[in-house]
Structure formats: C-alpha cells, structure tokens
Amino acid sequence: MTRFALTIEFDGTPFQGLQRQKHGPSVQQSIEDALHRITGEDITLHSAGRTDAGVHALGMRSHVDLDKDIDPFRLSEAINAHLRPDPIAILDCQIVPDDWHARFSCVERRYVYRICNRRAPLTFAKNQVWHVAQPLDAEAMHRAAQSLVGLHDFTTFRSAHCQSRDPVKTLDRLDVERAKTELGDELRIYAEARSFLHHQVRSMVGCLKLVGQGTWEEGKIAEALAAKDRSKLGLNAPPQGLYFVEAIYPDEDA
C-alpha cells in the first residue's frame, strides 16, 4: 500500500462541492472514479478541507492509498487523462509517509475571496468572482476585519448546519486589498487559519461588504462577533468568489 499526496486545482462551478454528495456531482467522486478506472481499486480521497457548491481550489491537498505500484508522475498524468472534460487538474503527485494525512496533518489553510468591484456587468468570469457594482471602501473593510483576527467564538459567522463541535477558532489573517486586474478593480480578502467553520469565510466577507458599502459602521463587525448569534449575521457572500488557495504542512515550505 502506497500513500500518494495530490495537489488539486478545480473550478467548482459544475460541482456540489469537493466532498462526495448523494444529490449531485462532486470533485471527490470524479477523482475516485478516475482512479478506479486506472487501478480497478475502490479508493477514498481524503482532503485538507471541504468546499461548498461553486467554490474553487487553486491548490487543494488530498491523499489516496493505492495497492497498485505506479510512478507518481504517471499516476497524475493518468488521473488527468481520465478526468477530462471535468474542470479538475492534478498539479502534483508525491509519495508520502503512511502517517501523513491531508486533513489531520495540515497546520494552516489559506483562502482568498475575490470581489469584482465595477459598475459594468461581467461578461467573463461570472462564476469566478462576486460582482459588486457599488463602490466599496477597501480600507474600511480591512480595518473592520482586524477585529476578527485572533482567538474568538465565531458562532455568528458559522452555518446553521456546521458540524464542528467547537465554534472557537483562531483566525491568523484577514486582510482586504484592492488590486487592478484584467477585470478592472478587484478586492481580494485573504483568510488564514488552522481550520475554519462551515461558511465562516463567506460570512465574514459578506459582513465586510456591508462595511465597504457604508451599510454597516466598522464597529458593527466586532458587535456581530461578540453577539455569538447567527441571527446577527448581516450577509453571507455567494460561493463563486471563494478559492481554497493552499494547505500548509509541517516541514514544508510555506
């Protein structure tokens, strides 16, 4: 039995999420089906995180255990061939120790949320960013975001369906930056933590958008956090602007 670590990129638009679902296609199912066609084995994909329907990944880390003796490069090439035309790509494949686990060995997860902040409607990238037509104050959003950094009870910013036993998490980074891109003005919200609650990033971004447009005062973010009450959430951002960027592991370069 050999354990292979995979680095995966995917467009989440046609999927119900990363995790296998009963009610629609998933990234996990596509990869497991491809591996079954290659090896004849029934294989389970274990991943660093889960993603909602429509959420994307630039560098999801996952692992699989195979009985078949195969070179990692040949395996990645074979998986990619069998994944077509699904918008999923294996970017890297490495043999790892048996005690390396994509989820439980991970010490940091990094996300970015993209907001296209322009008046004109989108022609391209409709499923890749959140289009917000009204001007947003990125500096105000960044200042407000800092009240969420650190160790907090994030009950307000978790889904009602979140399965985590503990709403207390340590948020290591939440930065809002404005950039000029091919789409025009774009706001990028960078979030980093060891782990996140279900919908936490989208919920934080949604409330920061309210600050950016002037609907909420900057201090309202801290008030919502302190309330520890989901009903105090102002807005949950849509999934299409969210990207899982990378997972960090001990002894790996960040």
Q: Which of 11, 33, 42, 52 is catalytic?
A: 52
HSE of 254, CA atoms in CB hemisphere, 13 A: 7
Helix (H, G, I), strand (E, B) or coil at 104: coil
Q: Indicate if the alpha-carbon torsion angle 222, 226, 228, 230 is positive or negative.
A: negative
Closest CA to 132 of 104, 157, 154, 113: 113
Give the integer Cα–Cα distance in Å for 79 and 56: 19
Q: How far is CA 56 from the centre of its chain?
A: 6
Q: DSSP of 43-89, one letter per residue?
A: ---EES---BTT-EEEEEEEEEEESS---HHHHHHHHHHHHTTSSEE
Show the tokens assigned to 70: 């195969």
Give the integer Cα–Cα distance in Å for 32 and 20: 10
Q: Look up 67 and say whether it is catalytic.
A: no
Catalytic residues: 52
